[in-house]
A and B are shown apart, each in its own frame.
Chain A
């Protein structure tokens, strides 16, 4: 490499060309390494996404060629679709409950683990385990068993004299069992919190305790502010994940969103419209509305972040 680069240096005009050539070749190397990802992104993400934008203005039914019908799908969604509003409500309830609970739980455990207890790597791995199993079918099936009428949860409650309902098949509770399933998968935010906690220099706490700050004050005045970038990151990632949640509801209700549509997540409704009722055009429009909601939410979070996220620089 060095020898080939030196030869033109002496022959052609100096400096500029060589620099440009070097920059170009470096970019080429970079892009050639990116090719596998680029192919995936263009072919499997961007392409289908744009195709679904087009389909959202058609009456595509999977089997026949789509015909453009303008804004009819969107118009119906907003003016004449009770299930749209219902599934929105289910999804928002899920997001609003699951995300804060999960983050609080993850942070709490990260703080416990951060106190330098013996066997930390083991605990870390154990607590992370549910997140690895998380989206799997097996866990959703396990959940169904745990929260059934004669499931383990009710057996335990029975010891204390409570006769629990059939959590998973009672529309008053079924959504909350899914929230619990999500909270249980606190592993990945916990690991990130743990890394964030490690970044906080111990002398800050030392100074605070000399000044007489108690543990609660230290948490509110030191830990939380210094951790806000990590909280922000976890918050965004978890919220987007929660909006997109599909597998648990799909498996636990076997695709119906039941009982009585109590677990009809927005994504599940979208899936039913597209794949069960052959209304792929309509489903595409629903998908774009979800995309826009998530985009708005993320933009809003970033805009407000300057007021509550403290970067340590």
Chain B
């Protein structure tokens, strides 16, 4: 019997297995790079992204890309948490709203040194490049441009015998919408209630020559603006152009719960690139047009990067990440897989190539952007700290007004005072 397992042998065995485990964690091929890729969006976007990833992996042995995706609402808390734990993904889909916030806190890698080398974006127009810069440094790779777009159910307007709301004024728009509601016996509404949504609000403010925020990060509107906005929608609710508050509250600010997708209302206020996501979820053919205009003489629309790629400052695989990002915006095949679902590509060459074999949905989006481009104003400055909180607050106050908890005038007053409090705190 040689069962003398004394302490020493046991220790040796333990050390041995620990050593094995340590060996196991060393990659088999040293040149392997694993990239963590992170984005928000619909299933349509995920499908397209994963196709591009698998094509890239086929072409580049040794590169392994792991995708992580979440809905918009969960996306940012998770990113912030991972960044706090110094464990953020290497390649991050970034929004114009947050790029300054992350860049100024040192969480993003400046990309200037890659430009002209592995990042070939020299043919991007100036606006598409500048909109991805913070304090003069490039922190994002433009994934496509978009603009505000109203997406609507064509059939609902046809059935009502009403003209489609193409490039109309606000007054005309509500008139048409009320007619749609009437034709559907009040069970289907002409438009969703946009009073709590920031994008139509901002567009409308810009038409009046105002803005959400000024260049120096102050509030860009006054009490009268906010009050007029809530009053306009209160009137729309009265004429049944838009649904009552308890119906509107079911909308959780994503494509899936939007009242257009839910079959409750004919118009949704969104961005041009989201047209594809909407159409995939809607049986009826959808139209795309500009937001209603005419609240003032100025253009409400502007072109902005619908999203960009940003790279985590602590990434260990910067070069491979830049190469993959470049593949999605400058390689014809890679860019074709993404299509225009993230916006219309900034590179003219790629835009042309992608447009050449777009499906009908994609063509509509590209045509829409060409239609809007001559009518846009300049892009507003990067939003100040606290902008996200103000967006949430707008929705809350709009609901208070629509549920009749506060008057229109008090809603306007409250919006301004709360927004100023948030800005002074941030």
Task: Give A contacts to B, CB under 8 Å.
Answer: 61-64, 148-149, 165-166, 168-171, 253-256, 258-261, 271-272, 275-278, 280
Known contacts: A254-B252, A255-B74. The answer to whether A61 contacts B105 by CB under 8 A is yes
* Docked complex Cα distance between A275 and B107 (Å): 16
CB distance from B395 to the nearest CB of A (A): 7
- A64: which B residues are within 8 A, CB to CB? 105-106
**Given A165, A253, A275, which contacts B81 in the complex, CB threshold below 8 Å?**
A275
Q: CB-defined interface of B98-131 with A at 8 Å, one 1/0 digit per residue?
A: 0001100111000000000000000000000000
Q: Cα distance A168–B250 when bound, in Å?
A: 8
Question: Across the interface, do A63 and B80 meet the contact criterion of CB distance under 8 Å?
Answer: yes
Contact B388 A276, beta carbon cutoff 8 Å: yes
Whether B80 pairs with A62 at a CB distance below 8 angstroms is: yes
B contact patch SS: helix
The answer to whether B246 and A261 have CB atoms under 8 Å apart is no
Task: Say whether B81 contacts A169, CB under 8 Å.
Answer: no
Q: Are B399 and A258 in contact (CB under 8 A)?
A: yes
CB-contact partner of A256 in B83, B84, B106, B395, under 8 A: B395
Question: Contact at A171–B399, with CB atoms within 8 Å?
Answer: yes
Nearest Cβ on chain A to B97's Cβ, whole angstroms: 12
Chain A residues, CB < 8 A from B107: 63
B73 engages A261 (CB within 8 Å): no
Q: Please name the residue on chain A nearest to B257 by beta carbon.
A: A254
The reply to whether A260 and B84 form a contact with Cβ atoms under 8 Å apart is no
Inter-chain contacts of B15 with A (CB < 8 A): none
- Per the bound structure, the CA–CA distance linking A169 and B253 in Å amounts to 14
Separation of A240 and B253 alpha carbons in the complex (Å): 32
- 23 contacting pairs across A/B (C-beta < 8 A): A62-B84, A63-B83, A64-B106, A149-B246, A149-B247, A166-B246, A166-B247, A168-B250, A169-B247, A169-B250, A171-B249, A171-B399, A254-B253, A256-B395, A258-B399, A259-B245, A259-B399, A259-B403, A260-B396, A260-B405, A271-B77, A275-B77, A276-B392
- Min C-beta distance of B190 to chain A, whole Å: 18
Cα–Cα, bound, A169→B400 (Å): 13
Measured in the bound complex, the distance between the Cα atoms of B349 and A2 in whole Å is 85
Q: In the complex, which residues of chain A have a beta carbon less than 8 angstroms from the beta carbon of B76?
A: 275-276
Asked if B249 and A259 sit within 8 Å, CB to CB, the answer is yes
Are B252 and A63 touching (Cβ within 8 A)?
no
Chain B positions within 8 Å of A256 at CB level: 252, 392, 395
Indicate which residue in A271, A272, A276, A280 contacts B84 across the interface (CB closer than 8 Å).
A280
| Bound CA span A280–B77, Å | 11
CB atoms of B80 and A278 under 8 A apart = yes
Q: Which residues of chain B are near A61, meaning CB under 8 Å?
A: 105
Chain B residues with CB under 8 Å of chain A are: 73-74, 76-77, 80-81, 83-84, 101-102, 105-107, 245-247, 249-250, 252-254, 386, 388-389, 392, 395-396, 399-400, 403, 405
Contact partners of A254 in chain B: CB under 8 A: 73, 252-254
Minimal beta-carbon separation of A67 from chain B (angstroms): 13
A165 to B403, CA, bound (A): 13
Residue numbers in B under 8 Å from A276 (CB-CB): 76-77, 388-389, 392
Given A171-B399, A171-B405, A256-B395, is A275 in contact with B80 using a C-beta cutoff of 8 Å? Answer: yes
**Seed contacts A61-B105, A171-B399, A259-B249; 17 additional CB < 8 Å A-B pairs:** A63-B102, A63-B106, A149-B250, A165-B246, A166-B247, A166-B249, A166-B250, A169-B246, A254-B73, A254-B254, A256-B392, A256-B395, A258-B395, A258-B399, A259-B399, A260-B396, A276-B76
Provide the residues of chain A in CB contact with B399, threshold 8 Å.
171, 258-260
Please report the C-alpha to C-alpha distance between residue A256 and residue B77 in the assembled complex, in whole angstroms. Answer: 13
Interchain CB contact under 8 A, A258 and B74: no
Q: Give the complex CA separation of A250 and B220 in angstroms.
A: 32
The 10 closest A-B pairs by CB, nearest first: A275-B77, A169-B249, A63-B105, A62-B84, A166-B246, A254-B252, A259-B249, A170-B246, A260-B399, A62-B80
Closest residue to B401 on the A side, CB-wise?
A260
A260 cross-chain contacts in B, Cβ below 8 A: 396, 399-400, 403, 405
A residues near B403, Cβ cutoff 8 Å:
170-171, 259-260
User: In the bound complex, how far is the Cα of B74 from the Cα of A258, in angstroms?
Assistant: 16
Please give, as numbers and ranges, the residues of chain B lying within 8 Å of A168 by CB-CB distance.
250
Given contacts A62-B80, A275-B80, A277-B388, contact A148 B250 (CB under 8 A): yes
Asked if B250 contacts A255 (CB within 8 A), the reply is no
Name the residue of chain A whose CB is nearest to the CB of B421: A80
| Shortest beta-carbon distance from A265 to chain B in Å | 15
- Max chain B Cβ within 10 angstroms of own Cβ: one of A62, A261, A271, A276: A62
Look across to chain B and name the residue whose beta carbon is closest to the beta carbon of A148: B250
A230 to B102, CA, bound (A): 52
A116 to B76, CA, bound (A): 53
| A63: nearest chain-B partner, CB-CB | B105
B264: nearest chain-A partner, CB-CB: A149
| B80 to A, closest residue via Cβ | A62
Q: What CA separation (Å) do A61 and B250 show in the bound complex?
A: 32
- Chain B residues contacting A271 (CB-CB under 8 Å) are 77
Question: Which chain B residue has the least Cβ–Cβ distance from A61?
Answer: B105
A-chain residues with CB within 8 Å of residue B105 when the two chains form the complex: 61, 63-64
Cβ–Cβ < 8 Å partners of B246 in chain A? 149, 165-166, 169-170, 259
A63→B84 contact, CB < 8 A: yes
Q: Give the docked Cα–Cα distance between A185 and B84 (Å).
A: 35
Min distance, Cβ A43 to any Cβ of chain B, angstroms: 14
Residues of B within 8 A of A149 (CB): 246-247, 250
Distance A249 CA – B74 CA, assembled complex (angstroms): 14
Distance A71 CA – B395 CA, assembled complex (angstroms) = 32
Partner of A277, one of B102, B245, B389: B389
- What residue of chain B has the Cβ atom nearest to residue A169's Cβ? B249
CA distance A271 to B76 in the complex (A): 12
CB-CB under 8 A from B102, the residues of chain A are 63
Q: Which residues of A contact B245 (CB under 8 A)?
A: 170, 259
Contact B249 A62 (CB under 8 A): no
Shortest distance from the beta carbon of B242 to any chain A beta carbon, whole Å: 15
Report the separation of the CA atoms of residues A277 and B97 in the bound assembly, to the nearest whole angstrom. Answer: 13
Query: With the chains together, A259 CA to B247 CA distance in Å?
Result: 11
Q: Give the distance in Å from the alpha carbon of A272 to the alpha carbon of B388 in the complex.
A: 11
Smallest beta-carbon distance A164→chain B, Å:
11
CA distance A277 to B386 in the complex (A): 7
